[in-house]
Amino acid sequence: MSVYKKNEDQIDSLMTADQNKEMFNDIAPYYDGANHILSVGLDHLWRREAVKRLDPKEDHVYLDVGCGTGDITLEILRQNKASRVIGIDTSLGMLGIGWKKIRQYGLESQASFREGNCLCLEFPDNSFDGAITVFCIRNVTDRKKAFSEMVRVLKPGSMLVVMELTEPMGLVMKPLFRIYASTVMPLVTKIMSSVSAYKYLAASMETFPKPENMKQIMTDSGLTNVAYSQMTFGIVTVYVGLKDIITKTP
Ligand SMILES: C[S@@+](CC[C@H](N)C(=O)[O-])C[C@H]1O[C@@H](n2cnc3c(N)ncnc32)[C@H](O)[C@@H]1O
């Protein structure tokens, strides 16, 4: 959209990293509520499906990239309470809400959140048994770099799950969605928080790569066996990819 002017650091995103951080800090108190209303409650179902792909296991450690207010981390622990999760996010406002939930559910020994940027992860190579990023990659200034970092910190053979909102296609759903995005979304968000944040949401969905392109970006970033499936008329797409098992030559 023309209102978003790119600078040279923004290869992929409509906002700079600083603008994005500011936006999420501003909307943090309203984020969960707005999400549930705008998705008519489907966001829980989408997150459950994303985490099912990860298939969390006992004693395995997972990285939740762009963990926000922590709902993916909670869902991982709901699906396997003997796993562990580290969440990272650039927005302290979002992380603060996440921390409250972790304390509320008494999950401090299984989950921890920290400030971090997926373009430069502060973890050693081959650290995690799996990674997941849900509704985050749309906001990241360089997707290929972010995926390459996620691949670096994954153990060989482990999985990355990516979930993103996408603009639905088709003669019926595409126009219906555009009407929804230009009327219902701003109305709900005017009441709840920031209209500009959700105008950004609609614009970033419109400009986000189509699933086949995303599949290519993930493959170019070092993932193998990349596959995707669409949910809810194509409003949400979930991608999975594996870090190759590297066979060392003697
Ligand atoms: C739409 S929220 C999604 C939060 C959460 N995953 C969920 O399922 O609700 C996107 C999150 O990505 C974070 N984010 C954006 N750019 C990031 C980056 N470069 N590194 C880490 N987190 C980032 C934002 O701060 C925000 O909390």
User: Which domain covers residue 225, as residue numbers?
Assistant: 17-166+209-243
Domain contains 82: yes
The best mutation among 11, 44, 139, 150 to test binding of ligand 1, ranked by most ligand atoms within 8 Å of the C-beta, falls on 139
The residues lining ligand 1, judged by C-beta closer than 6 Å to any ligand atom, are 20, 24, 47, 66-68, 71-72, 88-91, 94, 117-119, 134-136, 139-140
Interacting residues of 180 by C-beta distance below 8 A, sequence separation 6+: none
| Ligand 1 centroid from CA 182, angstroms | 23
Sign of CA dihedral 140, 192, 40, 86: positive
pLDDT in tens, 93-102: 999 999 999 9
| Ligand 1 centroid from CA 68, angstroms | 5
- For atom 25 of ligand 1, the residue with the nearest CA is 91
Domain contains 130: yes
User: Dihedral through CA 55, CA 58, CA 62, CA 68, nearest 10?
Assistant: 80
Q: For position 147, which CATH number holds? A: 3.40.50.150
Domain contains 90: yes
| Ligand 1 centroid from CA 29, angstroms | 14
| Ligand 1 centroid from CA 99, angstroms | 15
Domain contains 24: yes
Domain contains 250: no
- For atom 14 of ligand 1, the residue with the nearest CA is 66
Intervals of the chain under pLDDT 70? 1-10, 169-173, 175-177, 179-196, 198, 247-250
Domain contains 219: yes
Domain contains 185: no
Q: Please state the domain count of the chain.
A: 1
Domain contains 85: yes
Closest atom of ligand 1 to CA, residue 68? 27
| Ligand 1 centroid from CA 217, angstroms | 19
| Ligand 1 centroid from CA 249, angstroms | 38
- For atom 8 of ligand 1, the residue with the nearest CA is 134
The predicted pLDDT at position 10 comes to 63
Interacting residues of 104 by C-beta distance below 8 A, sequence separation 6+: none
What would the DSSP string read from start to end of the chain?
A: -TTS---TT-SS-SS-HHHHHHHHHHHHHHHHHHHHHHTTTHHHHHHHHHHHHH---TT-EEEEET-TTSHHHHHHHHH-TTSEEEEEES-HHHHHHHHHHHHHTT-TTTEEEEE--TTS--S-TT-EEEEEEES-GGG-S-HHHHHHHHHHHEEEEEEEEEEEE----STTHHHHHHHHHHTHHHHHHHHHS-HHHHHHHHHHHHHSPPHHHHHHHHHHTTEEEEEEEEEGGGTEEEEEEEE--PPPP-
Nearest-angstrom CA–CA distance, 149 and 51: 20
